[in-house]
């Protein structure tokens, strides 16, 4: 015996899905999160400048 032949496509088989315009993808959100975290990360302060470089330049 054979199964009955469907008369048409199923309700979800061949429907076109509307694109999600204006909605960021998960990959884009993850990239933005990494960039924002890097922006907010604490950095080590630069070494204090005692003026040694300026004095060395003047003595040349």
Angle CA 27–28–31, to nearest 5 = 85
- Measured CA to CA, the distance from residue 1 to residue 30 in angstroms comes to 53
Check residue 25 and give its pLDDT: 92
pLDDT in tens, 29-42: 999 999 999 999 87
* DSSP 3-state percent helix, strand, coil across the chain (nearest 5): 35, 0, 65
Query: Which distant-in-sequence residues (6+ apart) come within 8 Å of 32 by Cβ?
Result: 24
- Give start and end residues of each alpha helix (H) in the chain: 26-40, 52-58
The structure's pTM equals: 0.39
């Amino acid at each position: 015996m054979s199964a009955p032949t469907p008369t048409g496509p199923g309700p979800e088989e061949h429907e076109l899905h509307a694109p999600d315009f204006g909605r960021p993808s998960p990959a884009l959100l993850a990239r933005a999160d990494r960039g924002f975290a890097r922006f907010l990360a604490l950095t080590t302060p630069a070494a204090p400048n005692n003026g040694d470089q300026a004095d060395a330049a003047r003595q040349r």
